[in-house]
Amino acid sequence: MRLLLLRHGQTHGNVAGALDTGVPGLDLTDLGRAQARAAARALDGTGVEGVFVSRLVRTVQTSDPLVEAAGLPRAQLPGLHEIAAGAYEMATDHDSVHGYLSTVQHWVHGELDVRMPGGESGTEFLERYDADVERVVASGAETALVVSHGAAIRTWVASRVPDVAGRPEAVSPLHNTGLIAVEGHPTRGWRLVEWHADPIGGHLLEDESAPDPTGEPVEE
């Protein structure tokens, strides 16, 4: 199957530079809603048969324009949410953001036993994300859209798609409504089809003034 992994649109937490990973999370901004509408137009004709979102409201809001325009079924799954910030939740300071991103970096490079302070380990993250990917595959859709989160998408792809972890994209930003496409199956493996870091509705929908920590590059 083809799996389209779309990051949600811009939120008020992104603009504030906050590590907003808790449920239900903050809403989309006006720009985020514009990104969602543009993403729906960009996805028109891609053959999406089902839409799957996380427990965070921003993924539901991002998928609304496509679901409403195309009449697609949508399911909310428990494991597609962002990597939990734990002790860093809602923090905006440099040390907290660096601590969050450095933990994600360990996971991207296979050090899955490292635990987010006050949160989950890489192994625990992948277990819950893998479980939901399997639910998406079991839906029978040939092409499915998963609306998820920046750090979560990058970490899952780097961990489950061969050779991605060593590529520059794995430690690069994934902007709001950026999209990564993979093809394959959980038991047979996945291959990378596309890595579109910028908003799929067009580069003019990017807000370069927003700190957006969960979309930031993972630095050494």
C-alpha distances out from residue 107 to 2, 22, 33, 54, 202, Å: 24, 20, 31, 21, 30
50-53/74-76 β-pairing = parallel
pLDDT of the residue at 204: 66
Angle value at C-alpha 149, between 158 and 10, nearest 5 degrees: 135
Residues 18, 134: Cα–Cα separation, whole Å: 31
2-7/179-185 β-pairing = antiparallel
User: Annotated active-site positions, please?
Assistant: 8, 82
pLDDT 10s digits, 90-114: 999 999 999 999 999 999 889 999 9
Choose between 32 and 217: higher pLDDT.
Answer: 32
pLDDT 10s digits, 163-198: 887 777 766 789 999 999 999 999 999 999 999 999
CATH of 2-205, picked from 3.60.15.10, 3.40.50.300, 3.40.50.1240, 3.30.420.40, is 3.40.50.1240
pLDDT 10s digits, 167-176: 777 667 899 9
CB 35 within 8 A of CB 176: yes
pLDDT of the residue at 173: 84
pLDDT band at 220 (very low <50, low <70, confident <90, very high): very low
DSSP 3-state assignment of 212? coil
The full length of the chain comes to 220
- What's the pTM? 0.94
